[in-house]
């Protein structure tokens, strides 16, 4: 088990922020609720799916149980983006594929970052919400209610992975976290959380332009998935708040 210096848990603040699975584990030791932000594309895909009435079961990346779980649940298993292109009618981590899908009620959705973090947090008993640019105001309203009850909140931008497996902080997740935090009281935020809120202020006037030009956005565009970036960049277009309950995301609002 990873050991954490107590100061890295940001204990003086009720709204905290740190990156990736290790940061999530550090912050949630004494937090009541975690918000996982993976803009390109896990969080965005979950909001699209739930908006279409599809229940989402997050799973750790490359989990050998994925196909078995999909069979047990009579669910669709999300493929990798490129593989889904070769199988008409299949779905993937691409939010566009969920917008086009028909006849899906349940989806098993592995991903290397957001889904893996959510599955890890659920396994340790942490309450999990998913946030992105599309539902930032709705998630902030949900968190405000929890904070009014005295809760402590951990905001976790998922980030990406370098080829060696190390964490690559991804600016789109910083913006997504900041979009959620912008609706909350800065006096409750750690300096780490305040930085994300400030980063969002410089992003919000031209969100799609920024998203398309950042490294992760350009990567998807160059691979032919520009529609996924466009979908992710639509600020506050849904009031769906995905809550992870008994291994599945369902709408909380």
pLDDT digits (tens, 9 = 90+) for 159-199: 999 999 999 999 999 999 999 999 999 999 999 999 999 99
Dist CA 99 CA 48 (whole Å)? 7
**Which structural domain, as residue segments, surrounds residue 220?**
15-62+113-244
- CATH number of the structural domain spanning residue 197: 3.90.1560.10
Which stretch of 9-18, 77-86, 148-157 has the lowest confidence by average pLDDT?
77-86
Q: Say how many domains are in the chain.
A: 1
Backbone angles phi, psi at 151, to 5 degrees: -70, 160
Tokens 């913006």 found at: 175
At residue 73, does pLDDT exceed 90?
yes
Instruction: Report the run of H or E that residue 168 belongs to, with start and end.
Output: strand 167-168
How far apart (Å, rounded) are the C-alpha atoms in residues 119 and 25? 12
- Does residue 84 sit within a domain? no
Residue 87 forms part of a structural domain: no
159 assigned to some structural domain: yes
What is the reported pLDDT for 253? 58
Query: Crossing angle for the helix pair 114-123 and 20-27, nearest 10 degrees?
Result: 30
Strands 153-157 and 33-37: parallel
Phi/psi of residue 197, each to 5°? -60, -40
Phi, psi for 17 (deg, rounded to 5) = -145, 135
DSSP letter, residue 249: E
Give the bridge partners for 242, in sequence order.
Answer: 251
Indicate whether 192 belongs to any domain.
yes
Q: Cα–Cα distance between 149 and 118 in angstroms, integer?
A: 23
Name beta bridge partners: 130. 36
On whether residue 222 sits in a domain, the answer given is: yes
Region 21-28 average pLDDT: 95
Query: Is the pTM value of this prediction over 0.85?
Result: yes
HSE, side-chain direction, 13 A CA sphere, residue 130: 35
Checking if the pLDDT of 243 tops 80, the result is: yes
pLDDT at 85 over 90: no
Whether residue 76 is contained in a domain is answered as: no
Over residues 138-164, the mean pLDDT reads 97
Is 130 part of any domain? yes
Please give the pLDDT value at position 223: 95
> Does any domain span residue 80?
no
| pLDDT over 70 at 1, yes or no | no
Predicted local distance difference test score (pLDDT) of residue 138: 98
Per-residue tokens: 21: 């699975």
Q: What is the spatial distance between Cα 244 and Cα 248, in angstroms, rounded to a whole number? A: 5
CA dihedral 153, 159, 161, 167 (to 10 degrees): -60
């Amino acid at each position: 088990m990873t050991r954490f210096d107590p100061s890295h848990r940001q204990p003086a603040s009720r709204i905290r922020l740190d990156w990736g699975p290790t940061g999530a584990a550090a912050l949630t030791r004494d937090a009541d609720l975690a918000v996982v932000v993976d803009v390109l594309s896990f969080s965005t895909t979950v909001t699209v799916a739930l908006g279409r009435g599809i229940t989402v079961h997050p799973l750790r990346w490359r989990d050998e149980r994925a196909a078995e779980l999909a069979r047990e649940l009579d669910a669709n298993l999300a493929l990798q983006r490129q593989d889904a292109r070769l199988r008409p009618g299949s779905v993937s981590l691409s939010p566009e594929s969920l917008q086009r899908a028909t006849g899906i009620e349940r989806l098993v959705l592995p991903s290397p970052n957001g889904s893996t973090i959510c599955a890890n947090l659920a396994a340790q008993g942490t309450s999990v919400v998913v946030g992105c640019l599309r539902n930032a105001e709705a998630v902030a309203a949900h968190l405000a209610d929890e904070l009014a009850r005295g809760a402590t909140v951990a905001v976790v931008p998922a980030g990406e992975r370098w080829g060696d497996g190390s964490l690559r902080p991804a600016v789109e997740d910083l913006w997504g976290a900041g979009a959620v935090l912008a609706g909350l009281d800065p006096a409750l935020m750690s300096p780490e959380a305040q930085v994300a809120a400030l980063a969002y202020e410089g992003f919000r006037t031209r969100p799609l332009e920024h998203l398309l030009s950042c490294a992760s956005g350009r990567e998807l565009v160059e691979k032919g998935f520009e529609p996924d970036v466009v979908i992710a960049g639509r600020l506050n277009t849904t009031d769906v708040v995905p809550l992870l309950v008994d291994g599945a995301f369902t709408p909380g609002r």
